[in-house]
C-alpha cells in the first residue's frame, strides 16, 4: 500500500487539500460495488480526489480499472479495509456472490457491522469533504454526522422502484387483496402502476425479518445530504422529481454510469479484473462471428439461482426459438443428482445447437457483450444495474424478475418507458428457497417471447410492429443515455452540481475541484 503522493492508485487515503476529497464505500455485492466504482471514476475525471474503500477480495476485482483511471491522470485510489473475521463465515466471503449459502447472510451482515470502527478511524484520520455511502451501510451515517462530514447515499436502484417502495411503506401490503394474482394500484405515483401481491418485494410483506434493517436504513436516511442515483431523466420520466418531493432531498442522477468505461479492458473486465480477460476474449470472439442484432444475451445476475427444472426449460426454450443466444449459466438450486442430470442434458443441448448458441458458466463480460453489435436483445432479471446497462447500450429487454425490487423495475421497463416485454413470470422466487418454486415459465413461452422480441416470430401485422416499436424505443433510449453523460448533458451536469453542493457544506470552493470549470450552472 502506497502513500497518495506516489504513482500508485492503491492508497492509505492521503489528501489533496486544493480539491474536493470524496470517499466512496459500497455495499460488498457486485451490483453495488460496480456502479460505485464507476461513480468514483466520474468524479475523479472532473477533478475530485476519489477514494474507494474496499476489502481485500474486492480490491483484486477492481484494481485494474482504478489503476488505468489513475494512469490517465485522475486522482482515484483504493483504500484497503481489512474484512473482519466472524464466527460462521468462511474465509474469502467478502461479497454476496462469494457466499456459498444464504444461511451465511446473518454472519455476513454481522461482519459488515464490524467494519464500522475501522471506517470511523479512516474518516476521522483523513477528514474527507464528503462520503458517498451505500444505503445498505447505515452505520456510515452516524460516523459522518459525528465528524461533520456530509453523507450522500447511493441507492443501488432507480427512483421508480424507490418511489414504489416508499408508497408500499405508507400503504402496507396487509391491506392488499388476499389473492396473489389480483392487481392493485400503487397509490401516489406519477403513473398508474399496478402490482400483484406476488410481485412485491419479500421485505415488504407482513412477517418479513427485514423490518429491523429497514428501520435502520430509514433512520440513517434522516441525516443523508442527498441521493446519488445511477439513472437519467429519460429512463425514469417524472420519478426523479417525484422522489425529491416525497423525501425532501435532492437527487443527483449521474447515470448510466457504465458509459464511463470507454477503454475496452474496462468494459471486458468490469467487476472481475484481469483474471477474466481470457474468458472475455473467447466470448467476444464468438460474438464477432454473428450478424448484427441477431443474438439474445441471457443473464440473471450474480445472486440468482433457478431450480434445475427451470434451467432446463430455459435451455429448451432457447433451443426451440432458433435465435442465436449467449447464455450465462449461473448456479442452480438443486441436489447433486439433479445437477448431474442437468449437466448431462446441457451437453446434449449444446451439441444440438452447435455454433448458434454459446453457454458460459459463471460469468461473462456483460458490459462488453451488451455493447457488441451482434447483441439485439437481453433476457434479464431486471436488477437495476442490468436495466441501466441495457438502456445505455440501447438493447431491448425480455424481462424475468425474480425478487427484491426487480418486479418494480419490470413495471418501469415494460409499462412506463416501453423498452422491453415481459417473458411472463407472474411470481418470483424467495432468495435461498428457489428450489421450492419449480417451473415458473415453460419452454414454449420462452421460445415464443425470444423469437418475437428478436423479430423471428412468424406472426405479422400489429405484433411485428409492436416488437419493432420496442426495439426502436430501446435504440432511442441508448441515444438519450449517451447524450446524458456527454459534456453538457443532464448526468454530466449532475456531477458538477453535486460538487457544488459538497463545497459549501465544508466551507470550500467547489470550483477548485472542477477540471473544466463547468459545474452545471
φ/ψ of 165, rounded to 5, equals: -60, -40
What H or E segment, with its residue span, contains residue 389? helix 384-393
Most confident of 27-31, 144-148, 282-286, 459-463: 282-286
Query: Contact, 154 vs 22, CB < 8 A?
Result: no
Place of cell 418501469: 412
Residues 6 or more apart in contact with residue 402 via CB below 8 angstroms: 300, 304, 381, 425, 428, 429, 431
Catalytic residue among 11, 32, 49, 372: 32
Q: In terms of pLDDT, which residue wins out, 203 or 259? A: 259
Q: Residue 316 pLDDT > 50, yes or no?
A: yes
Let me know if 275 is exposed, middle or buried by CB neighbors in 10 A (0-12, 13-18, 19+): exposed
What H or E segment, with its residue span, contains residue 380? strand 375-380
Q: In terms of pLDDT, which residue wins out, 199 or 506? A: 199
Which triple of cell numbers denotes residue 32?
453495488
Q: Residue 52 pLDDT > 60, yes or no?
A: yes
Q: Residue 225 pLDDT > 90, yes or no?
A: yes
Q: In terms of pLDDT, which residue wins out, 302 or 484? A: 484
Predicted local confidence at residue 346, as pLDDT: 92
Residues 318-341 pLDDT 10s = 999 999 999 998 777 778 888 899
Q: How far apart are CA 502 and CA 519, in angstroms?
A: 12
Residues 121-176 pLDDT 10s = 999 999 999 999 999 998 898 888 888 899 999 999 999 999 999 998 887 766 66
Instruction: Using pLDDT thresholds of 50, 70 and 90, give the confidence band for residue 404.
Output: confident
What is the 3 state secondary structure string of 291-356?
CCCCEEEEECCCCCCEEHHHHHHHHHHHHHHCCCEEEEECCEECCHHHHHHHHHHHHHHHHHHHHH
Q: Residue 412 pLDDT > 50, yes or no?
A: yes
Q: Which residues pair with 152 in a beta bridge?
A: 132, 226
Q: How far apart are CA 75 and CA 49, in angstroms?
A: 5
Predicted local confidence at residue 197, as pLDDT: 82
Q: How far apart are CA 412 and CA 418, in angstroms?
A: 8
Residues 448-487 pLDDT 10s = 999 999 998 765 566 788 999 999 999 999 999 999 999 9
Q: Residue 514 pLDDT > 50, yes or no?
A: no
Q: How far apart are CA 276 and CA 270, in angstroms?
A: 9
Predicted local confidence at residue 211, as pLDDT: 58
Q: In terms of pLDDT, which residue wins out, 119 or 220? A: 119
Q: Residue 181 pLDDT > 80, yes or no?
A: no
Instruction: Using pLDDT thresholds of 50, 70 and 90, give the confidence band for residue 15.
Output: very low
Q: Residue 284 pLDDT > 60, yes or no?
A: yes
Predicted local confidence at residue 72, as pLDDT: 94
Residues 6 or more apart in contact with residue 51 via CB below 8 angstroms: 11, 13, 21, 22, 23, 24, 40, 76, 77, 78, 79, 128
Predicted local confidence at residue 11, as pLDDT: 42
Cis peptide before 256 (omega within 30 of 0): yes
Predicted local confidence at residue 174, as pLDDT: 60
Place of cell 454473428: 290
Dihedral angle sign, alpha carbons of residues 265, 266, 268, 271: positive
Q: How far apart are CA 439 and CA 450, in angstroms?
A: 18
Closest by CA position to 55, among listed 5, 14, 92: 92
> Residue 32 catalytic?
yes
**Mean pLDDT confidence for 226-242:** 98
Spell out a b/e string for 211-221, using b for 16 or more CB atoms within 10 Å of the CB, else e.
Answer: eeeeeebeebb
- Give the pairing type, strands 357-361 and 306-307: unpaired
Instruction: Using pLDDT thresholds of 50, 70 and 90, give the confidence band for residue 87.
Output: low
Q: How far apart are CA 284 and CA 28, in angstroms?
A: 28
From 65-69, 244-248, 413-417, 454-458, the region with the lowest mean pLDDT: 454-458
Q: Residue 521 pLDDT > 50, yes or no?
A: no
Ordered by where they begin, the domains of the chain are 1-154 (3.40.50.2000), 266-482 (3.40.50.2000)
Mean pLDDT of the chain: 86
Rounded to 10 deg, the angle between the 443-453 and 462-485 helix axes is 70
Rounded to 10 deg, the angle between the 443-453 and 308-321 helix axes is 40
Q: In terms of pLDDT, which residue wins out, 444 or 331? A: 444
**Mean pLDDT confidence for 383-412:** 96
Rounded to 10 deg, the angle between the 384-393 and 30-45 helix axes is 50
- Work out the percent of the chain whose per-residue pLDDT is above 70: 85
Instruction: Using pLDDT thresholds of 50, 70 and 90, give the confidence band for residue 519.
Output: very low
Catalytic residue among 49, 129, 134, 501: 134
- Work out the percent of the chain whose per-residue pLDDT is above 90: 60
What H or E segment, with its residue span, contains residue 406? helix 406-410
Predicted local confidence at residue 462, as pLDDT: 63
**Mean pLDDT confidence for 423-449:** 79
What H or E segment, with its residue span, contains residue 378? strand 375-380
Q: How far apart are CA 87 and CA 197, in angstroms?
A: 37
Q: How far apart are CA 31 and CA 29, in angstroms?
A: 6
Q: In terms of pLDDT, which residue wins out, 130 or 5? A: 130
Q: Residue 32 pLDDT > 70, yes or no?
A: yes
**Mean pLDDT confidence for 6-25:** 59
Q: How far apart are CA 143 and CA 247, in angstroms?
A: 22
Closest by CA position to 230, among listed 303, 297, 161: 161
Q: How far apart are CA 96 and CA 75, in angstroms?
A: 29
Amino acid at each position: 500500500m502506497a502513500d497518495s503522493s506516489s504513482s500508485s492508485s492503491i492508497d492509505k487515503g492521503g489528501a489533496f487539500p486544493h480539491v474536493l476529497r470524496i470517499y466512496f464505500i459500497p455495499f460488498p455485492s457486485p451490483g453495488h460495488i460496480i456502479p460505485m466504482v464507476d461513480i468514483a471514476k466520474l468524479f475523479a475525471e472532473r477533478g475530485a480526489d476519489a477514494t474507494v474503500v474496499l476489502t481485500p477480495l474486492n480490491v483484486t476485482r477492481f484494481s485494474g480499472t482504478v489503476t488505468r483511471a489513475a494512469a490517465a491522470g485522475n486522482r482515484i485510489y483504493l483504500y484497503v479495509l481489512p474484512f473482519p473475521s466472524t464466527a460462521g463465515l468462511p474465509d474469502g466471503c467478502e461479497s454476496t456472490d462469494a457466499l456459498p449459502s444464504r444461511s451465511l447472510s446473518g454472519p455476513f451482515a454481522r461482519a459488515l457491522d464490524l467494519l464500522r470502527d475501522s471506517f470511523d478511524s479512516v474518516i476521522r484520520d483523513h477528514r474527507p469533504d464528503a462520503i458517498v455511502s451505500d444505503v445498505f451501510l447505515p452505520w456510515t451515517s452516524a460516523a459522518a454526522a459525528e465528524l461533520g462530514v456530509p453523507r450522500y447515499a447511493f441507492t443501488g436502484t432507480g427512483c421508480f422502484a424507490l418511489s414504489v417502495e416508499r408508497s408500499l411503506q405508507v400503504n402496507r401490503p396487509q391491506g392488499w387483496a388476499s389473492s396473489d394474482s389480483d392487481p392493485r394500484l400503487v397509490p401516489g405515483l406519477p403513473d398508474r402502476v399496478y402490482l400483484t401481491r406476488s410481485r412485491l418485494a419479500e421485505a415488504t410483506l407482513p412477517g418479513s425479518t427485514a423490518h429491523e434493517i429497514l428501520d435502520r436504513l430509514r433512520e440513517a436516511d434522516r441525516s443523508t445530504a442527498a441521493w446519488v442515483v445511477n439513472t437519467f431523466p429519460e429512463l425514469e420520466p417524472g420519478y426523479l422529481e417525484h422522489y425529491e418531493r416525497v423525501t425532501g432531498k435532492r437527487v443527483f442522477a449521474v447515470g448510466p454510469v457504465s458509459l464511463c468505461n470507454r477503454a475496452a479492458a474496462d468494459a471486458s473486465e468490469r467487476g472481475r479484473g484481469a483474471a477474466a480477460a481470457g474468458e472475455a476474449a473467447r466470448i467476444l470472439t464468438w460474438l464477432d462471428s454473428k450478424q448484427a442484432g441477431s443474438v439474445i444475451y441471457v443473464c440473471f445476475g450474480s445472486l440468482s439461482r433457478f431450480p434445475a427444472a427451470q434451467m432446463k426449460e430455459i435451455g429448451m426454450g432457447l433451443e426451440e426459438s432458433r435465435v442465436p443466444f449467449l447464455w450465462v449459466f449461473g448456479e442452480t438450486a438443486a441436489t447433486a443428482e439433479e445437477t448431474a442430470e442437468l449437466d448431462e442434458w446441457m451437453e446434449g443441448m449444446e451439441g444440438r445447437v452447435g455454433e448458434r448458441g454459446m453457454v458460459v458458466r459463471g460469468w461473462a463480460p456483460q458490459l462488453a457483450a451488451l455493447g457488441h453489435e451482434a447483441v439485439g436483445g437481453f433476457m434479464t432479471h431486471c436488477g437495476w444495474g442490468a436495466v441501466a446497462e441495457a438502456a445505455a447500450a440501447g438493447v431491448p429487454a425480455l424481462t424475468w424478475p425474480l425478487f427484491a425490487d426487480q418486479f418494480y423495475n419490470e413495471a418501469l421497463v415494460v409499462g412506463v418507458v416501453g423498452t422491453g416485454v415481459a417473458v411472463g413470470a407472474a411470481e418470483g422466487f424467495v432468495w435461498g428457497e428457489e428450489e421450492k418454486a419449480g417451473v415458473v415459465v415453460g419452454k414454449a413461452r420462452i421460445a415464443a417471447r425470444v423469437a418475437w422480441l428478436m423479430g423471428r416470430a412468424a406472426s405479422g401485422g400489429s405484433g411485428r410492429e409492436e416488437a419493432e416499436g420496442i426495439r426502436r424505443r430501446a435504440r432511442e433510449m441508448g441515444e438519450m443515455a449517451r447524450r446524458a453523460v456527454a459534456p453538457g448533458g443532464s448526468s454530466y451536469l449532475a456531477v458538477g452540481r453535486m460538487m457544488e453542493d459538497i463545497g459549501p457544506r465544508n466551507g470550500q470552493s467547489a470550483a477548485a475541484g472542477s477540471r473544466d470549470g463547468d459545474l452545471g450552472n
